Structure 1
Amino acid sequence: MSASTAASASGFAWMSDRMAMRIAAQAVSHRQCQSGGASAAHVEACQRVVSAGHRDGRPAGAPVRRCVDATQCGMARVRLSGFLPGSAGTGVATLSGVIRHHFTVDVEEYFQVSAFESRLRRADWDRFESRVGGSVDQLLDLLARHEARATFFVVGWVAERQPNLVRRIALAGHEIASHSWDHARVTDQSPPAFRDSVRRAKYVLEELAGAPVIGFRAPSFSIVPGREWALDVLIEEGYRYDSSLFPVRRSGYGYANGHRDPHWLERPIGRIAEVPPTTLRRWGANLPAGGGAYFRLLPYALVRAALRDCERRRAPGTFYIHPWEIDPEQPRFGVSWLTRLRHYGGLHRTLPRLERLLGEFRFTAIADTLPRLSGALARV
């Protein structure tokens, strides 16, 4: 994949110098607040913000001695009126320069994961206990407590059998997107079969959500080199963005030479936005740090470092999780030790880590940031 753009390499435009200086000045004040050395003027200004808007949960007029951190400071929570006319920012900025990352959920049953395909036939899926609803409700509660909006990539098979689950997600204010009809990998499908899958899922999800479905994520990130025709199908079927090109080199999936930040892809029939899962660039390689098993099994510091790195680039990161990853009591299947590790390892850690993640970072749905994606183009 080669870039063909005069815009920023990350696909996002920088804010104005004046705005950047303003944010930097606030950052200094926040660091002083953390050490107890904030100026009287900063504390007074922060108190005015809190008094006016109850922004940190204190009663109106309650004294503000110092900010706990930039995200809890009243001054930090004053939203800029937007990036300057003609500029393209990334997500929702505050005076502290906070970026809203993408929180995404792949809504599938525990028995639908690709690693179980050789043991569990699709024809037998209806025989298994459904557990996805309870886990999704837990995630909805978690997101509500942290005032976060998310994108839920829903498998059509699940939506057809549990329509109220999709309605609950939509009524909670989250974006509904497609995760295919039956969780079949793109690498196992012909173009006509893939078209039928994404068309059928889109129709059912739109009927249930009462809103357009514009996003897609391939099961197991299976749009890989040689399967770019899937992007053309998505464009023709009315999808505006894809989140399948994982810029890593892994067995079975990965688009190693892909861009790391959200960007537009130019295809012969049109263009589509690409929103890749987050990676961390180290030792000349992209390390997967966007969620899933990497979130459960690797140190939490890896995901944190990756999202901080995104913030330095002024680009939103993209985090993903599955409902079955917060369900340690799910039934076990007899699989290889490696599959057991990948699927069942660290399940008890997922919820506490999600609490920590949502406490440290701000999140929103992918659809919320698309309007701010610059005109940068890449070709595949």
Structure 2
Amino acid sequence: MDLTPEQAAIRESVREFAVEEIRPTARAADEEESFPEGVWDDLAEQELTAMTVPEEYGGLEVDGLTYALVNEEVAYGQLAVATALSVHCLATSCIAEFGSEEQKERWLPEMVEGRPVGAFALSEPHAGSNPAEMSTEARKDGDEYVIDGTKQWITNGERSGVVVLFAKTDADAPGTVTQFVVPKDVDGLEVGKKEEKLGLRASDTTTLTFDDVRIPEENRLTPVGEGLAAAFSILTGGRVAIAAQAVGLAQSALDLALEYAQEREQFDGPIADIQSVRHKLAEMHARTQAGRLLTYDAARQLDDGRPPALAASTAKYFASEAAMDVTNEAVQIHGGYGYTTDFPVERLYRDAKITTIYEGTTQIQKKVVARELLD
């Protein structure tokens, strides 16, 4: 698909940043399970933390395709950084779309600068793919809400300063899910230990426990009972971002495999001359490009105001599975070296798996696609 000159320039700029600034920190960040805060500050300087914020609050308010391009290229550098950025942007999107004028003026001008970092608290230990089953409650008490419950798999859980929270105003009433904004420094909010994960190890993933947390009524973002619809609306765009990240990850693995295949010699020549290797590279390219085109199409549908659920879930499903296939083949092309931490393809392979799980598993995406086709 053709890009505008501005979109092409942004893509080139972010790719350069990914190669020169993100990639050099990726191995250490993964091994130390520590998020590269210096990279985050550089992202903020480039205003990438402001992508989903309207201009009147200091943001960029980029179109959906540009947002996808940025996610793709940041993930080309390291998926953990792209994940942190997209979750921050989910939080700013919620405030920008559902917040009052006072709430926008209070939170957004600082968040566009990258601090405080945003978190998005929807999933729970017993309510992952079906958030309607959440048990976290925010009960009304005078002019305050009192929050009790636990959220799980929270990206930016420890490093965030603002949490967009989904809770029921009545624990026994499924239709009362409501959206709130909660500052991290409130009394009673406890951050759990960082999860030890297969991949995405540089990402800060924790539980958040709310124990008699009190926030003023003015921190409620949506009308009572409209939080779940708000979450699904925001996550549709989020799925396009995850699809884009999967494409960026796959492209990174493909480029590394192409480079290695032309340098590694076996049987009196580079392994790129071996037909089975050439076929692998061709298949990797095809899957990556197909995922890219599906993702860009979904992004354009968002920009055009068309119902995006079918396109977004199709792109997320296909691109994430393609990332798994492509990174697996990249490891195979590297042979024994691909199984060691001396080469980055093993990290890409580990990271790829999460794209098939978070913001809706592959199975959930297939369910959405089938529903859109049949209902």
The alignment's TM-score, normalised by the length of structure 2, stands at 0.26
Larger RCO (alpha carbons 8 Å, 6+ apart): 1
